[in-house]
Amino acid sequence: MTWLVPLPIVLPLVGAALSILVGRSRTAQRVVALSILATLVVVAVVLLVQVDRHGTLVAEAGGWPAPLGISLVADRFAAVLLLVAEVSLLAVLIYAIGEPGAERHHVGFQSAYLVLAAGVAASFLTGDLFNLFVAFEMMLTASYVLLTLGGRRGQVRAGMTYIVISLVASTLFVTALALLYSATGTVNMAHLAQRLDELPPGVRTAFAVLLLVVFGIKAAVFPLFFWLPDAYPTAPTPITAVFAGLLTKVGVYALIRTQLLFFTDETRPATLLLVVAAATMAIGVLGAIAQEDIRRILSFSIVSQIGYMVMGLGFFTVAGVAAVVYSMIHHIIIKSGLFLIGGLIDHSTGSSRLTQIGGLVRTTPFLAAMFLVSALSLAGIPPLSGFISKFALVQAGIAESHYVVVGVSLLVSLLTLFAVIQIWTGAFWSPPEVTTLPTPTPVRRSGGPLLMVAPTAALVLCSLGVAAAAGPIYSFSERAADDLLDRQSYIEEVLSP
């Protein structure tokens, strides 16, 4: 079944080319993009079942054996993130097609979107550190295009900051690669893991910190997060939704993969990670409270949620990493869903500023219900998926007696509740304070056209599913965490298949 592994990278790239070829017909472009993403969801499901039953799948590009050629590795962690990513990409694409605006006026939208999908998949699947750099660039370049599509003033301003900071991160990545290559003579991740062990511990720790900075910028951890709340809110809703769900999570993925695979316990910057995690959680949520715009509140809360994932990683135990895997699954779905709901609010009221909207609970009760479920899940109210992920993280932390960071995380989840309740009271509960805004479209009770509401509802349902099937998903996460912490078996599977 190894032929399945390159498909999530190759298919969207072919699709991107195809949708340029059929650029004259918007319908043909949509058919291409939708059918490819739908196929990829199926491929990802098959891949996940295969990997879970029969172990890690390794595909060698061009048939070159491992340390020489580029290997694509699908283990449990990569496969499950791939599935969640493809599902949210598909849902957001349907929403984008339903939304009047961004998608309709740009020939390049579908292509850039598919390249983004390919980049995300490649980042998850690659077993080669330089190829990870290429995958990041593929994803980021597509995201630059998507972010600035339309060329409005705010987009250009935010786009510049975003591109410059990403380019700086990429340069640092190349620097890290150069130093790693000259120290070890390889860029294959399994081979690197093997050879890094021979270096002195000081050098290894330096590499661990360097990679932490590189991926910390992409994952938006404190103090490297400032570009995120600046850039994300300016893009059209579907694009913000996919960025919010996926891009930072790819950074977290790379962080987890490199820290766990390359370094052993004594060279991992565990304390640094925990301090960074606590600061990320706290600053992110405080930023969210200070904002008055739905998108900006949600963007800051991405930062604070990233802190939770870094905290779980910082424990470096099976329980901690399993909790991170579960919370990544939860967070990709819930965050994309929340941004889509924000977009629906914008669509039905013409604004996303809390002072200008209100009373949505009467005009669009269905939208209000979807928001309430997702928001409470984000804050970690039982029995929703956010509660399970936070409970698992806190349990893992207490087991390792890291009481301070666990305390911070509990306080932060209270403040997160405060931030989302702010949206709830501002947008749904209270009457609008300023009533001068003309409603752009007659408001429907569901909140928008079917093509916009259905994918949003599907994502909310998925998040309920993640909570309802928490038992099997959590035990899967534990198996994935076992894989991640077992460096030797990864190295063996890649180097001697």
Residue 414 within binding range of other proteins, rule CB under 8 A = no
- For 440, other C-beta atoms within 10 Å of its C-beta total 13
Q: Strand pairing partners for 74?
A: 57
Q: Which of 28, 199, 205, 293 binds other proteins (CB under 8 A)?
A: 293
Q: Which of 76, 191, 218, 353 binds other proteins (CB under 8 A)?
A: 353
Residue 296 within binding range of other proteins, rule CB under 8 A = yes
Cβ(338)–Cβ(360) below 8 Å: no
Residue 174 within binding range of other proteins, rule CB under 8 A = yes
Q: Which of 10, 156, 410, 469 binds other proteins (CB under 8 A)?
A: 156
Residue 167 within binding range of other proteins, rule CB under 8 A = yes
Nearer to other proteins, 19 or 131 (CB): 131
| Cα-based distances in Å from 154 to 161, 163, 230, 343 | 11, 14, 10, 17
Helices and strands (H, E) in the chain, number of each type: 21, 2
Q: Strand pairing partners for 60?
A: 71
Residue 437 within binding range of other proteins, rule CB under 8 A = no
* End-to-end Cα, the chain, rounded Å: 14
Nearer to other proteins, 119 or 312 (CB): 119
Query: Of residues 179-218, which lie at the interface with other proteins (CB under 8 A)?
Result: 179, 181-182, 187
Backbone angles phi, psi at 24, to 5 degrees: -70, -30
Shortest CA distance to 408 belongs to which of 223, 268, 283? 283
Residue 300 within binding range of other proteins, rule CB under 8 A = no
| Piece of 39-47, 157-165, 320-328, 360-368 that binds other proteins (CB under 8 A) | 157-165
Query: Which two tokens mark 254?
Result: 């790379």
Residue 438 within binding range of other proteins, rule CB under 8 A = no
Count, residues near other proteins per rule CB under 8 A: 41
Residue 35 within binding range of other proteins, rule CB under 8 A = no
Query: Which two tokens mark 130?
Result: 């330089």
Residue 433 within binding range of other proteins, rule CB under 8 A = yes
- Measured from the CB of residue 314, what is the shortest distance to other proteins in angstroms? 29
- State how far the Cα of 141 lies from the Cα of 145, in Å rounded to an integer: 6
Q: Which of 28, 61, 69, 141 binds other proteins (CB under 8 A)?
A: 141
Residue 422 within binding range of other proteins, rule CB under 8 A = no
Determine which helix (DSSP H) or strand (DSSP E) holds 484, and give its type and residue range. Answer: helix 470-485
Residue 148 within binding range of other proteins, rule CB under 8 A = yes
- Measured from the CB of residue 223, what is the shortest distance to other proteins in angstroms? 15
Residue 17 within binding range of other proteins, rule CB under 8 A = no
Q: Which of 134, 275, 279, 421 binds other proteins (CB under 8 A)?
A: 134
- State how far the Cα of 324 lies from the Cα of 410, in Å rounded to an integer: 16
**Residue 434: burial class (beta carbons within 10 Å; 0-12, 13-18, 19+):** exposed
Residue 263 within binding range of other proteins, rule CB under 8 A = no
- State how far the Cα of 75 lies from the Cα of 484, in Å rounded to an integer: 9
Cβ(80)–Cβ(329) below 8 Å: yes
- State how far the Cα of 36 lies from the Cα of 8, in Å rounded to an integer: 9
Residue 61 within binding range of other proteins, rule CB under 8 A = no
For binding to other proteins (CB under 8 A), which residues are involved? 130, 133-134, 137, 141, 144-145, 148, 151, 153-154, 156-161, 163-164, 167-168, 170-172, 174-175, 177-179, 181-182, 187, 230, 290-293, 296, 353, 355, 433
